[in-house]
Every structure is written in structure tokens, then in C-alpha cells.
Chain A
Amino acid sequence: AQSVSQHNHHVILSEAASLELGCNYSYGGTVNLFWYVQYPGQHLQLLLKYFSGDPLVKGIKGFEAEFIKSKFSFNLRKPSVQWSDTAEYFCAVNANTGGFKTIFGAGTRLFVKA
């Protein structure tokens, strides 16, 4: 069955620290990969996505993610976090063969200390 695993459920960092959130997926065929962010009290917003081309994808607000096909991974990174990055981050995947259903990981709650 298709699944998405996020390894860190809660992460606490100080401002200016570097961030890496792990995401692994189990999905056959060609996949599209996404990272979404949900700020407190707000709806989901797309941070970045990968569907083809350069496996290193740059998104909004200084985030980037790298697709490593051999590892079925799509980890999210940011070199220097800010207090305003406090939010919940969801990794998600869909595939052309899956009716475009998007499966979400459990989410990682990030808290950045000022």
C-alpha cells in the first residue's frame, strides 16, 4: 500500500539553526512529491513540489527539498530557520497511476525558539 513516513513528529530549534525534515514514501511508479506547511490557525499552503527534472527543488521562504529516488526520500531543508517558520509541515505524494490521490505523512510540528 502507498504510504508516506515522516520521521520527526516534533522538532524544536533555535533561530538561525539549520533544519532538515525527513520524508520517505512507498509508492510504485512515477511520483509527484510535495511539501505543505500549515501555520497555526491557517490552511495548508504549498511550499514546494517535485515532478520531474532537477531533483533539488527550491520553494518559497528559503526552503528546498531533494528527491533521492534510490532512497525513496524527499527531505525538506532550510539553512537558517526563523521564528516565523513555526508551523506543521506535511510531506505528500501522488502518482499518475493512483488517480492523483494525494497521500499525506503524519506531519512534523516545528517550533522555533526566538
Chain B
Amino acid sequence: GNSVTQMEGPVTLSEEAFLTINCTYTATGYPSLFWYVQYPGEGLQLLLKATKADDKGSNKGFEATYRKETTSFHLEKGSVQVSDSAVYFCALCPSGGNNRLAFGKGNQVVVIP
């Protein structure tokens, strides 16, 4: 079946540090890939997406590239801010399907001033 795996554990880093959150997936065909962000006390917001291999999604300084050869969609940001503290979810939507998103377990990111 379709699944998404995110790296274990929370991520704590200092302001202006480089952020990477790993995401790998298992799916048949050509899924669409997403990163969602959940700020404290709020719902999920779409951060970025990519719909085909080698596409790069970007938003608010975050980037992720759809790598089919490694089945990965790692999230990166060059210089994080305290306001980036949130939970980040990687997700996939299978091709030809019913919009049934499969989510990773999420990573709590804490940015320290």
C-alpha cells in the first residue's frame, strides 16, 4: 500500500540554522507529494507540493524536490526563524485514486532564538 516515512523524533535547532526533514515514500505509479505545516493551535496548511518527478516545490523559503529514483521528498530551508516552529507533515496522494492522502507521522520543529 501507500505509505510515507518521516525521520524519527523532534528537531531542535538555533535560529538561522539549516533545516532538513527527511521524507521517503512507498507508492505505485506517480503520486503527488506534499508538505503540510501545523502551527501551534492551528489546523494544517499546505506548505508546498510537487506533482511529478524532478519537480521542486517551494514556499516561504522552504524547498523540496520530488526524487523518484530515491522515492524521497526531503524538506529544506536554508535559514530558519523562530516563527518556523511547527509540526511538519509529509504526505502523498496516489495517482488515479480518490484523493486519499497518506501522511507521515510528522516532525516537531523547535527553533531557539
Do A and B originate from a single complex? Answer: no
Q: Could you list which residues of chain B lie within 8 angstroms of chain A, going by C-beta atoms?
A: none
Q: Could you list which residues of chain A lie within 8 angstroms of chain B, going by C-beta atoms?
A: none
